[in-house]
Amino acid sequence: MTRKEFFARVGFGAATVLLPACIAGLATSCSSDESSNGGSSTPTATSNFTVDTSTGALATNGGFIVMNGIIIARTNTGTFLAVSSSCTHEGVTLGYDKSGNVFVCPRHNSQFTSTGTVISGPAPSNLKQYQTTLSGTTLTVMV
Number of structural domains (the chain) is 2
Same domain, 55 and 13: no
SS3 call for 64: strand
Is the sign of the CA dihedral 96, 100, 101, 103 positive or negative? negative
pLDDT tens by residue, 9-39: 766 555 555 555 545 554 433 333 333 334 4
pLDDT at residue 36 in the model: 37
38 falls within a domain? no
Instruction: Evaluate if residue 105 carries a pLDDT over 90.
Output: yes
Residues 53 and 123 in one domain: yes
Task: Please tell me whether residues 62 and 23 are part of one structural domain.
Answer: no
Assess whether 25 and 59 both reside in one domain. no
Q: Return d(Cα 109, Cα 106) in angstroms, integer.
A: 6
pTM of the model as a whole: 0.69
Q: Are strands 95-97 and 80-84 parallel, antiparallel or unpaired?
A: unpaired
At residue 57 the predicted structure's pLDDT band, cuts being 50, 70 and 90, is very high
Backbone angles phi, psi at 122, to 5 degrees: -90, 5
Q: Is the distance from CB of 119 to CB of 107 less than 8 angstroms?
A: no
For residues 130-139, average pLDDT:
96
- Domain carrying residue 134: 49-142
Same domain, residue pair 10 and 70: no
